[in-house]
Structure 1
Amino acid sequence: MQDICIESPLAGELIELSKVKDVGFSNGAMGRGAAVKPIDGKVYAPFDGVVEVLFPTMHAIGLKSMTGIDILIHIGFDTVKLAGQYFTAHVKQGDRVSKGQMLVEFDLAAIENAGYDTTTVIVVTNSADYTTITLLLGDTIIKSIGGETNVKDSIPDNMVKEEYVAAEILKYIGGKSNIRSVEHCATRLRLILKDKSQINEKSIENIDGVKGQFFAAAQFQIILGTGFVDKVYAVIVRDSESLAGSSNNETAYQEMTMLQKISRTLGDVFVPIIPVLVATGIFMGLRGMAQSLGIQFSENFLRMSQILTDTAFAFLPALVTWSTMKKFGGTPVIGIVLGLMLVAPQLPNAYAVASGDAQVISMSIFGLTVPVVGYQGSVLPALVLGILAAKLQKWFKSFVPDVLDLIITPFMTLFISMLIGILVVGPIMHSVESNIFSAVKAFLDLPFGLGGLVVGGLHQVIVVTGVHHVFNALEIELLATTGQDAFNAIITGAIVAQGGAALAVALKTKNPKKRSLYISSVIPAFLGITEPAIFGINLRFVKPFIYALIGGAAAGMAASLMHLAGTGMGITVIPGTLLYMNHLLEYLFVNAIGFGVAFTLTFMLFKQSE
C-alpha cells in the first residue's frame, strides 16, 4: 500500500467528492477522488501515461499512469446526452500522453446554457491499491485516506473512544437538538430524529467504532456492538434528563407498518421472558449430555433438575400475562395472578389431558358447552388475556374514585378477567393456537427438508425488515408443546452463514485497517448477532448477503432432514452448542454447512472491486 498525489487536470475550484450531486460518484462507488468546478474548458493529462478509455461522446476519459494509477475524468453530469456536441478530443484511445498534454476541450458556456452541470469528477478507480490519495489544485488539497472508499478516521489519542464516537454521531445527525428520543438494544443505538435530512449517513459510517447504520422500524439505528453501545448511549444522554428518560416506542409506533407494530409488540412482550427460557434450555442440554455419557443420577437429583427445567413452562402463562400487563400499562402483579389462574391446580392439567390421564371439564353456559382445561405451556390465551386485563384495568381507573381504586379496580379486573379467560378467551385462543402450531409444524416437517430450506434462506431477510420478533412466540410454543425448538436449529445456520460471507469479504480486502474493521463486525455473528455483519458488510456489497442466504438455506435443509432441535431458544452458533449437547456433532455439521457454503461462494465469486 502506498500514498499517491495527483494534480488536477482542470483549472477551477477543487471540491470534495461527497458534495457532488451524482450519487454514483458522491458515495465513492466509482472510487475515491475529488471534483472540480471548471473555469475553462480544457482538460490536461495529470501524469505520463496511456489513454485506456475515451468515450465516443468525449465526456469521459480514462487514463493509466506509468506507475499503475487508474483515473477516470468525467466531465459534467448527464453530458453523455449531448452525444459529443460541444466536445473536442485531442487524443484517441490507446495514445501515450505526457503530463500537461491537452486531452479534451469543451465549450463550458454552451454546455451550461444547455442546462447541464459541468462539475468534473476525477476519481482513482483502483483506489483500494492506495492508502492516501491526495489531489492538488493550486493551494487547495483534498485527501482521501484508506485503502477503500468510506474508510473510517482514527480516534484521536487524547480522547476516550466512546466520547469521540458519541461526539461524531451527534455532529452528523444534527446535534442533540435534533433527537426526539433515543434508546439502545444489545448492539444498536436507536434514534428517532426530528429532521431526517440532517443525517449524513456516509460520514456516520466513516466513524471509527461504527459498524453500520440503517433505518428500520421507523428508527435510525447505528450498530456499535455489544457493551460499547451502552457507553456511547451514556455519553449521548449525559446532562440531558429529557433524553435519558425518553422512549422510542410511541413515536416509532406511529410510523410503523401494521406488521412492524405487531412484531414490535410481540418482541416487547416475549423478549423479557427469553433469558429464563435460555437458562432452562441450557439446564436441559447439560442434563441430556450427562445422561448420554452414561452418568447416573439419584432420584432426588433428577427431581431437583426437573424443577429447574420444567417450572418456567409449567407456569408459562404467568410469565406471559406478567409481561403483557407490563407492556400495555397494567399492573404486572395482576398479570402474574391471572396467569397462575390459567394453570390453577383446580383445572385439569393440559399435559395430563393430552396424555389421557385427566379429562376436560365441560361447563354449560347459556346452553353452550364450554370445555375447561388448564393452559400449561400455552401462549396465545395468556397474551390475549393480558391485553384485555390491562385495558379493563385502565377502564376502571378512569372512573373509580381514588379512595376506592385500591379495592375495586384489582377485584373487578381479576374477577372479570378470570371468567373471560377461562370460559371465553382460553378455549377460543387455545383452538387458534393449536391450529397455527399444527400448520407451522407441518411446514417445518415438509419432505426433503423444504421447510428448513425456506426458513433458513429467508430468516435473515426478515431480520433486515425488523419484524423477526414474531418468531419469539412460535419458538416458545414449540418448546412448551414439544420440549424442543426445531426453529432454532434451522436459523443457526442462517446466522453463521452471514458471518461466513462477511469473513470472506474481510479476507479479500487488501487494506489492513479496513480488514480489521470488517473482522470486528464478523465476530458477533459467531455469537448469534448478525446486524454488524449484515449492515456493515454484506448488504453494502449485496452479493455476499445473497450468498449468505444460500448458505442459510442449505443449512436449514440439513437441519430439517436430520430433525435437529434445540432444548431451548435465544442463543445460536457458538453459545447455542449448550442447547445441543445430545446432538453436538449434528449441530456442528449444520453450522459448518451454513458457514462453508456462504464463505466459499463469497470468496470464489465476489470481486473486491464490487
Structure 2
Amino acid sequence: MNNKELAEVIVQNLGGEKNIANLTNCITRLRIDLKSRNNIDLEAIKGYDEVLSVIDQGTIQIVLGPGKVTKVANEIHESTNITVDVEGEEDSSEFDLAEDTKASYKAKQTSSFQQLFRHIGNIFVPIVPGLVASGLMLGIANLILNMADAGLINQSVLESDWYNLLQSIGGLLFGSLGVFVGINTAREFGGTMVLGGIAGLLIYAPVLGDIGTLSLFGLGLSINTGLGGLLGVIIAAYLFTKIEKFVRNRVHDSLDLVLTPLITVMVGALATIIVIQPVAGILMKGITWFLVDIMLETGGVFGGFILSATFLPLVTVGMHQGLIPVHLELIEQFGSTTLLPILAMAGGGQVGAMFAIYLKTNSKRLKNTVASVTPVGILGIGEPLIYGVTLPLGRPFITASLGAGFGGAFLSFFSVGAITVGPSGIVMIPLIADNKYLLYTVGLLISYIGGFALTYLFGFKEEMVNKLYGEAPEQPKQKDTAEAVQNDNKEEETQIKSPMTGMLRPLNELSDEVFANELVGKGIAIQPEEGKLYAPADGTISTIYPTGHAIGITTTDGAEILLHIGLDTVKIEEKVFTLHVSQDDTVEAGQLLCTFDTEAITSQGYDLTSPIVITNSNDYAAITPVEVEHVEAGKELLELK
C-alpha cells in the first residue's frame, strides 16, 4: 500500500475527514482528536502492515515511524480539507525541504539586530495587501490619465465622479498609513492598539506644520508634519507601549482606565515631538541619502548591480523587511521608489537559475520540484525557490544572486520606479511609475538570462542532488568473484557512540509504549546528566524537528539513528532546545547537535529519559547495548552487526 492509499484508509476508518477535529504529526506518529467515536475502526487501522501501532489514550496515536509519518501526513493534507500541523511549530501544514530550510535559517536569526528587522516585518507585512490594492487602483487612474493626455479617450473622463472616486479610494491607505503602522507596532510589542494609532496620527498631524515653531522652556523648537516618517511612527508607538506598561504597573486598578492612557499620550506625545521626530528624521535622511544618492545616483549601474545581487542574502537573515519603511518614505518624497524594482530583480535571477537546473539535472525529483516552484517565482513569490532549491544546493543561490545584478544595473540606468510596495516578478508591472513598464520587463528578462547563464555554466553539478535530498549515488555492482562472496559473508560491525552522559535504561522500562515496545526500532535509553546532545557517529542530519527535541542521523555506514530528548517533550511550549545543526548537515562523531535546559524540562513534569533508537533495526542481525550502568558521551553505546 502506498502512502496515499494508507492516508485514505486512515481517514476513512476514523469516521471521515469531517470527524477529525485536529491532526498533528510528530517525528514518529500521527496524533488525532476526534469529534465523535462512533463509526471508527481502530482495529482495521492496526491491521495494515505499514502501521506499527495504534494507541488510544483519548488522543489517538497512529505510529508509522520516522519519515513515513511525514509522507502520510502530507498525503492527508493534500487529499482532504484537514489541516495537518507539525507539533511544536505554529501554522505549519507541511514538513518538507523548503520549510525545513526556511525554519533553520529563521532559527539562526537570533541577534538583536536581526530580531529588530523581524519586528519591522511583523508590523508591515499585514499592510502589504492593502498597499498592493491601493497602488493598483492608483495605477489604473494613472493609466486613464495617460490615455486622456495622449488623446486616446475623452478628457472629460478626468472630471467624472467615477475617476475622482477611483483616485480617492486608491489614496485612502497612503493618507492614513501612519495610523495602521502605529496600531501594528502597538500590537507587536503588547500595547493598546488605539494608543499606537494615536502615535501614528501625531507624526502626521497637520497642526504640526501650522505651528512650525513651538516654544518650550524658552527654546524655539522647529516641528513639522511627517518629520521622521514611518520610522518615527514605529519608535513613537513603541515608546507609547513602554510608557503604558510602566504606568499600568504603578496605578491602582480603579484608576487604570483614566490615568494610564492619559499619561501615556501626554508623555509620549511630548517625547515624540521633542526627541523622536528630529532623531527619526535624521535617520531616515541618512538611509535615503546612502541608498539613493550614494548607491543609485553616484554608484549608477554598479550600485544597482550590488543592491540586486545582495538582496537575497538579506532575505535569508530577515533584514529585507526593514526596507519597507524606506520604500514608503521614498514614495512619500518622490512619488515612487526606484529601489524596489531593483531589488525585485533578485527574484528574476532565481527564476533563471530554475531553468538552468531543470535542463542540467538528471534527477526526476529535482525536476518535479523545480517545475512546481518556478511558476510562483515568475509571479513574484520567491521563497519556494530560495528555500526549496537554490539555498539548500548552495552554489546556485550565489550564481542566481549575481545574475540578478545585471537586471538591477539596467533598471538603475533608466531610473525605473514603483508607485507602491508589492510583490515582485511580472505582478509588479502594473505598479511601475512613469509608464516604464517595458523597461521593467526588459530588466526582468535580463535577470532571468543572467541567473540562467551563471547557474548553467558555474552554479550546478549533479552531485549537488545528493546534498539536497540525501540520496546516495548508485554503487557499482560487486564483481561475482570468490573474494566478493567471501566479503559478503563477513559479519560487519558498526560502533555507535553515546550522544549523552548519563545512566542507561532499557527501552522496555519506558512509559512511552512506542519506544518501550520497540515499535520504531531497537536501542537503549539514557537519563542525561547534562543538557548536551552530541553526534553518535559520522553521518548526515536526515531529520530534524523544529522544536529541537528529536534529530535523525544517517551514518556513513547506513545506520539510521533517532535521538529523542525526553518523552513527550514535543508538547513543551517554551524554547528549551537550541539546535546547532540544520537539515542535511554533515556531522562528525562527537559534534554538538543540540543543547537543552534540563531544569526547565523536568520542572514541568516531563521525563527526561532519552531513547536512542536504530530505526532500520531490521537491517541488522543484532543490536547490542554496552553492559554498563553509566556511560560518558563519546564512549561506546551500541554495537550493530
Partner of 2:362 in structure 1?
510
* Aligned with 1:286 (options 140, 144, 150): 140
Alignment of 1:225-374 (within 5 A): 234-236=83-85, 256-294=110-148, 295=153, 296=155, 297-299=157-159, 300-348=161-209, 361-374=212-225
Match of 1:390, as an amino acid?
A: T
What SS does the corresponding residue of 1:510 show, helix, strand or coil?
A: coil
Post-superposition CA distance 1:558-593 (Å, at most 9, x none): 110010011111211021122127221111101100
**What CA distance in whole angstroms lies between the structure 1 residues aligned with 2:68 and 2:324?**
32
Cα gap change, 1:379 to 1:229, in 2 (>3 Å): farther
- For 2:84, give the aligned amino acid: V
How many residues are treated as equivalent by the alignment? 400
The amino acid of 1:412's aligned partner reads I
Is 1:579 the equivalent of 2:431? yes
Indicate how the Cα distance of structure 1 residues 480 and 591 shifts in structure 2: closer, same or farther if over 3 A, else same. Answer: same
- Give matches, 1:175-574, under 5 Å: 234-236=83-85, 256-294=110-148, 295=153, 296=155, 297-299=157-159, 300-348=161-209, 361-375=212-226, 378-442=229-293, 443-574=295-426
Task: Give 1:452 deviation, angstroms.
Answer: 1.0
For residues 589 and 158 of structure 1, the distance between their equivalents in structure 2, rounded to whole angstroms, comes to: 49
In 2 relative to 1, CA 377–591 (structure 1 residues): closer, same or farther, beyond 3 Å?
A: farther
**Pair 1:556–1:176, CA change in 2 (3 A):** farther
Contact residue 168 and residue 207 of structure 1 kept, 8 A: no
Change (3 A) 1:258 1:563: same
Answer yes or no: is the 8 Å Cα contact 2:203–2:225 preserved in 1: yes
The amino acid that maps onto 2:394 is V
- Relative to structure 1, the CA distance from residue 208 to residue 278 in structure 2 (aligned partners, 3 Å threshold; closer, same or farther) is farther
Q: 1:419 to 1:254 in 2, by over 3 A?
A: farther
Write the letter of the residue equivalent to 1:414.
V
Q: Aligned equivalents of 1:398 and 1:478: distance in 2? A: 40
Matching of residues 13-92 of structure 1 within 5 Å: none
Quote the offset at 1:522 in angstroms: 2.0
Instruction: State whether structure 2 residue 445 is matched by structure 1 residue 592.
Output: yes
Q: Post-superposition shift, 1:460? A: 0.9
Matched residues, percent identical?
26
Quote the RMSD (CA, aligned, Å): 3.9
Cα deviation digits, residues 294-349 of structure 1 (max 9, x gap): 34333344532332233323322222211111111111112222322332332327
Report the CA distance shift for 1:386/1:464 in structure 2 as closer, same or farther (over 3 A): same
SS of structure 2 residue aligned to 1:275: helix
Shift in CA distance, 508/168, structure 1 to aligned 2, threshold 3 Å? farther
The 2-side partners of 1:417 and 1:162 are apart by: 58
Deviation at residue 237 of structure 1 after TM alignment: 6.7
Partner of 1:346: helix, strand, or coil? helix
Conservation of the 8 A alpha-carbon contact between 1:316 and 1:378: no
AA partner of residue 593 (structure 1): I
Letter of the 1:482 counterpart: F
Letter in 1 for 2:240: A
Matched-pair contact (CA < 8 Å) for 2:307–2:408: yes
Deviation at 1:288, TM superposition (A): 2.0
3-state DSSP class of the match of 1:394?
Answer: helix
Identify if the C-alpha distance between structure 1 residues 269 and 207 changes in structure 2 by more than 3 Å, giving closer, same or farther.
same
Could you tell me which amino acid in structure 1 is paired with residue 132 of structure 2? V
Q: Structure 1 residues 418, 231: CA separation in 2 closer, same or farther (over 3 Å shift)?
A: farther
1:313–1:376: 8 Å Cα contact kept in structure 2?
A: no
Q: Which residue type is aligned with residue 382 of structure 2?
A: T
State the partner residue of 2:4: 156
Q: In the alignment, is the contact (CA less than 8 A) between 1:397 and 1:405 conserved in 2?
A: yes
Separation in 1, partners of 2:285, 2:78: 42
The answer to whether the Cα contact below 8 Å between 1:317 and 1:377 also exists between their aligned partners in 2 is no
Which segments of 5 or more consecutive residues in structure 2 lack a partner in the other structure? 13-21, 33-65, 93-102, 465-641
Cα distance change of structure 1 residues 453 and 230 upon mapping to structure 2, 3 Å threshold: farther
Q: Distance in 2 between matches of 1:546 and 1:344?
A: 46
What whole-Å deviation, never above 9, does each CA across 1:398-431 have from its counterpart, x for those lacking one? 1222222111111121122222222332223223
Distance between the aligned counterparts of 1:278 and 1:394, measured in 2? 34
Query: Residue type of the partner of 2:441?
Result: L
* Structure 1 unaligned residues grouped into runs of 5+: 1-152, 178-201, 211-223, 350-359
Residue aligned with 2:381, SS: coil
Once the 2 structures are TM-superposed, how far is the Cα of residue 161 of structure 1 from its aligned partner?
A: 13
Q: What displacement does 1:455 show?
A: 0.8
Name the CA distance, whole Å, in 2 between partners of 1:389 and 1:171: 41
Answer whether contact 2:191 2:244 (CA < 8 A) is retained: yes
Following superposition, the deviation at residue 514 of structure 1 comes to 3.7
Would the alpha carbon gap of residues 255 and 464 (structure 1) be closer, same or farther in structure 2, given more than 3 Å must change? closer
